[in-house]
Structure 1
């Protein structure tokens, strides 16, 4: 699938199979994240924790449910078997950490679509870390980094993603 086609077909998928993504798919997603633009071109400005451990995913769900006063059945990860927690370096200035994380996350979303995988960019689950700060260490976020976003990825029954129609002018104005 070509890049523009993957961009046009990308969507937030909220239904996953229990089948784990392959190591090769994961490697491709991590390559895409690393290839993202970085504020100031700084190496080491983004850290990604790959979470595929069911027990740790359960703990994150439980903490997020507590943070949002949700009961049993709350599913912020929609059953996806892989969560990428994307953290930014606290020393990156001028809002660059957030931009770096967002660019890495978007690259993962597009690459996931190109691979036929479902994905969603998430921030709400981060509330889990305010309720259970010990999970930051358990997730593997290094000192000096802050979790700023996540991307869930997995196999989905929705194999055919419909291409969106781009309507020039809907969100664009021109100043010439």
Structure 2
């Protein structure tokens, strides 16, 4: 079996991370994999925001918690010290699909490099707020973007989960 297919079978969402920061060199490799995701008409209309600043990470976690309706103090990022936020141009028809492919590449690359990951939702809602729009402006991002997802990154605390058996009758053949 190829390494890519093996990674696809083995990668699982991680929901408990060590506090140890992932080295920048590894994060850069993960980001590069995201940048190579397929995109509609090859337009590359997605962007990635790396967040390793603890204060900003915690603020995003707090916002995400409120949007998700959890009790104050819950961390929807499960203690992951780093996140990569994927956004797509708001007016691009395949933006959500393109951004989803970026997220998939990020998570597979993280797994391949020994880093746990989890797709955390509610980026769309976060970047619809004035706070989210101001964050983009502060980074020099002028165009309108829609949040696709957060890729939580970190070293796995404990054992990695195993894949559940695949459900039957999910493929139909027309030959």
Normalised to the residue count of structure 2, the TM-score between the two structures is 0.86
SS at match of 1:3: helix
Given candidates 98, 101, 116, the residue that maps to 1:100 is: 98
Matched with 1:49 is: 49
Name the CA shift for 1:141/1:38 in 2 (closer, same or farther; >3 Å): farther
Q: Distance in 2 between matches of 1:124 and 1:73?
A: 17
Matched with 2:30 is: 29
SS at match of 1:85: strand
Given candidates 113, 116, 119, the residue that maps to 1:115 is: 113
CA RMSD, aligned part only?
A: 2.3
**Deviation string for 1:26-65 (max 9, x for gaps)?**
111011101110101013x011000111111111122223
- Do 1:9 and 1:164's aligned partners in 2 also have CA atoms closer than 8 Å? no
Q: Distance in 1 between matches of 2:142 and 2:111?
A: 32
- Do 1:50 and 1:84's aligned partners in 2 also have CA atoms closer than 8 Å? yes
Instruction: Please state if 1:156 is matched with 2:156.
Output: yes
- Do 2:15 and 2:78's aligned partners in 1 also have CA atoms closer than 8 Å? yes
- Do 2:62 and 2:75's aligned partners in 1 also have CA atoms closer than 8 Å? no
How many correspondences in the alignment?
171
Matched with 1:137 is: 134
SS at match of 2:173: coil
Name the CA shift for 1:36/1:125 in 2 (closer, same or farther; >3 Å): closer
Matched with 2:70 is: 70
Further displaced range: 58-67 or 103-112? 58-67
Q: CA deviation at 1:171?
A: 1.7
Q: Distance in 2 between matches of 1:54 and 1:134?
A: 17
Normalised to the residue count of structure 1, the TM-score between the two structures is 0.85
Q: Distance in 2 between matches of 1:125 and 1:38?
A: 20
Name the CA shift for 1:67/1:141 in 2 (closer, same or farther; >3 Å): farther
Q: Distance in 2 between matches of 1:104 and 1:51?
A: 16
* Structure 1: segments with no counterpart, 5+ residues: none
SS at match of 1:83: strand
Structure 1: 4+ residue segments shifted above 6 A: none
Instruction: Please state if 1:87 is matched with 2:87.
Output: yes
Name the CA shift for 1:164/1:110 in 2 (closer, same or farther; >3 Å): farther
- Do 2:12 and 2:163's aligned partners in 1 also have CA atoms closer than 8 Å? no
